[in-house]
Every structure is written in C-alpha cells, then in structure tokens.
Structure 1
Amino acid sequence: MTVPRIQLNDGHSIPQLGFGVFKVDPAETERIVSEALEVGYRHLDTARIYGNEEGVGRAIAASGIPREELFITTKLWNDDQGAQRTRDAFDASLERLGLEYVDLYLIHWPSPARDLYVESWREFAELRSSGRVRSIGVSNFLVPHLERLLEETEVVPAVDQIELHPAHQQPATAAFAEEHGIAIEAWGPLGQGKYPLFELPEVAEAAAAHGRTPAQVVIRWHLQRGHILFPKSSSRARMVENFEVFDFELSEGEMQAITALEREGRVSAHPDEVN
C-alpha cells in the first residue's frame, strides 16, 4: 500500500496518513508502534509531553526499516519555549528517539501567556539550518499566532497541526494556511469519541453505501480534503482498518454532506488557554 504524499512548502514531502501516539502508555509504545510499522505505517507522530519518545525510538531501531523510508515528528512542549530551552529540549528529544534528525519539529502550542513562541520559532529556523530537522512547523496556532510569526520572522511554517474533525473544521485557520502554503495536519480527526460522529446519518449512510466503517469514511473525507492525519489506536485490527482507505472514494455529495457538519464543535482546549 502506497500512502500519498503531500508536498510541503520547503521542498520536502510528508505521508498523508500516519500513526499517532498521543496517550499511548509509554510501557506499551514500543509494541504498539512496532505493530503499526508492520501494518505499513511509515509516518509517526509523537511529542515530548507524551512521555513515549523512547518507545517510538526503540520500535524504529528494532524495525530494520531504512531511516529514509520513515517520517518522524516530535514537538516542543510549552515550558521548553525560549531560545536556549528550545535547543536543549530538541537535543533531549533527539536523544530519546535515538535519531540523528527528525523530519518535522513542531511548537506544540503557542502558549501566548509565555510570549516565547516567536523566540522559539527563530531557534527552529536555526535547527532546520543545522540539518537536524528537515521541516519545521507549528501546532494549535490560530490566525493571529501565524500572522505574528510571518510578520516577525518571515519564516513560513511547513505545517500547522490543529484540532480538526467534521464538527470543528477551523475554516479561518485552514483558509489562512492555504493562502500561505501551510499544510494542515488534523489531530483528533475522528473527534476523540467526544460526540456521536459515527452515528450521524451523513457518515453512517456513506459508510453503508461503500461497505465501509464510519471511521474509514471520516478518514477518507480528511484525505480528500487534503489534510494530513494520524489516527491512533492500540488495536492492530483498527490500525489495519484505518490504513485501508485508499481503494474507495467519497462522492462530491457525500463530501459536501460531511463538510456541512461544521458547528464550531471544539472538543479540546482553546489554544489561547493552554499555557
């Protein structure tokens, strides 16, 4: 199975579908990530705050998969912002992962009360120049945060990873990103089970029409919208199910019906409130 790749604004490309390890037990991470790699995933998304970078690194090392075939993302946590702290935090993440470079490094949240994300972003540009990071981006940045980065540094993020699912599509942020060539990554792409997404007729009817699960339909909706996403699961069967989404296509009507589910239904914290 060949996963489509999205071209980034810095010349690199990223697999459109990956595997996330948010809330994956550190003690189980190596096993779970090893299973994901066996299923065929090559794009892994972790973060310092998840506490499982070491497990991800062990799974990578044990897999025997050539490094150039993998795409690895990790993230800078809020209390590591600031130039020197960013450098130190990155070094520590790289050591925990056991890697010589990461493919993508993200500022996890803007943390506006700290007012250090611009300083960290300048350091991100230095890390990219060093070759130890291929691409740099942000996570949970809204339009005002992105505007400030572009005004004060002129370094455009390769991606913005934001909460995005049918009930909460962040159209203003997505439109700004598109205008500036910033790829959108969707976290919580299935709504984190916090509302009955799979029972909604727009999703359930499309699933029945294609002989697919509701989860596969929502993943397919994201892919056809051009989002990068990495649903997480500790179940191998679910990993396989989430990966088998490249042999069918939603109709224009089905896509429009799911897109019409937008209702500003954020299920997690607002970016301005996470500090």
Structure 2
Amino acid sequence: MTRNCMMHSPSLMIFWHLTKGAGISNGRVLLRNTPTLNYVGMQRGFFYDLKAGSLEDQVIDVVHHRQEMNGSLEQAALIINSRKGYHRLFNNAYPGQSGGADPWKIQHAIASYLRSLSPFSSRFDLYMRGDHKQLSADEKAGFNLFMGKAKCGSCHFAPLFNGTQSPLFIKSEAEVLGVPADTDTTGTMIDPDLGRYALYAYPQYKHAFKTATLRNITKTAPYMHNGVYKSLEQVMDFYNRGGGTGLGLKVDNQTLSSAQLNLTKAEIQQIIAFMGALEDLP
C-alpha cells in the first residue's frame, strides 16, 4: 500500500515516490499507483476501480491479496493474541466481546484508524473558517478558476475535492479521462488498464477510475491511476488539452469534456497555487 519509500543510513535519509505500488514479491510491481489514505473515512468506494464498498472490505482485500500482503487475518489474530499487551488492548477496545483480537476486530480497528485521517487543517480550511489572511491573491484566483473556467470542481467536489459529494458522502464517483500510457503527446496510446470495466463489463465503465482527492496533492506525486504524470503542470496540461480525446486518442466513452480549456500559463500556476493551499498543516 505504500507509495512513499524511505532509505536511510546514519548520515543520509532519502525519500522517493514509486510510480506504482511495490508488490510483496521481489521486483513485482502492482497494477496501479497507490492513492493517499488521507480523508478515506469520508469516501464510499475504495481502490481506483471502486471494488470495495467499505474500509473494512478494503482491509480484507489488501491483507489477503497475493501480490500486496499475501497475509491472513486469522493468522494475524493468533499472533496478536499471543502478546498480552495487544490482547488486553483489544478487550478494552471491544468491551463485552472478550477473547482478544479476531479478524473482524482487526478490520474494524484498522478502519477506525483510517477514519481518523481527516484533519481539515489546511490554509484553505482556515480561510473558510474566517481567517481571510490565509490565502494569497493567486490562491484565491486559482480557486475561482478551479470552480469556474477550469471546471475542476465539476468532478472534484468540495470539501474533500474528490468524487464524493457532500453533505451526505454516500457515493464516490468514477470518471473516464482517457489517461495515456506515457507522456508522449504525439504518439501515445490510452493506458491499457480497463478500470471498473474489468469488474463490470459495461461499455461506460471502460477505463473508468475513481476520482481521487486533491487534498495534500502537492505531496502525493506521481499522478493518475498509472502514475504517468510526475508534476501538477503535466496534469494541468492534460486537462487543458481536453483529456485523452484532446490528445487525439479514441475514447468514445470519455466523461471529461474534450473541449480545450484555454487556460493560460499564469492561470495554470494560479490553480496549482490553490491546490497547494489544500496541504494540511501540522
């Protein structure tokens, strides 16, 4: 599940970002880029193809997936219960259900932790709570472009800035963008990953992927389900051209408008500046 990798020695610490997740087998690369866990507790669909409907289901899938963890919640419960401290903690957390850890409690405990990762502490949040000194003129202009000319807000719904609409947060949406396999804008092909279509073979689901959150987006490169874009400038250029159809790809079911946005370089930088204001503060 980890995207951010770390290597350190007594005198050196290096971080780098993987294009796609690393599998448990040596050298194995997973199918897709790993999305952030921030704000997952307010979503209603998990994985890029939305195959899991709850965080508890997501935990089961990841733990038991042969290429991700290749584990067993049953075996995990045995190991946890062999340690008195953890056994006691589980009994305290689930009163009236003695016996320590079991698969359901492990699922629920992990999901409960994930639901806590929604701080809403960014400068944008502080601004919306009344501290109008938090955003610069460029960031405010970027927000207006985001919601207006650039049409970003038509898929990335506030306040999560993903595909889950407020105030009920009961459905997470997927979109067909026509994401390319590489960054060659003249001879590229659409990424071969079929997305939700691999689960449900309806034509409208071909190459459909969950709309991910833009909160903390400045820290979660690379971007898109396949990690094809390394910078927000590349992402904005893709949208500015009209997605995959705008690049000349044949995407008959593209849900993103293929019309060019005609954003100037200055406007693109203002939108990126606004997205930077969605970075949570300590």
More strand by share: 1
Which has the greater radius of gyration?
Answer: 2
Q: Same fold (TM over 0.5)?
A: no
TM-score (norm 2): 0.30
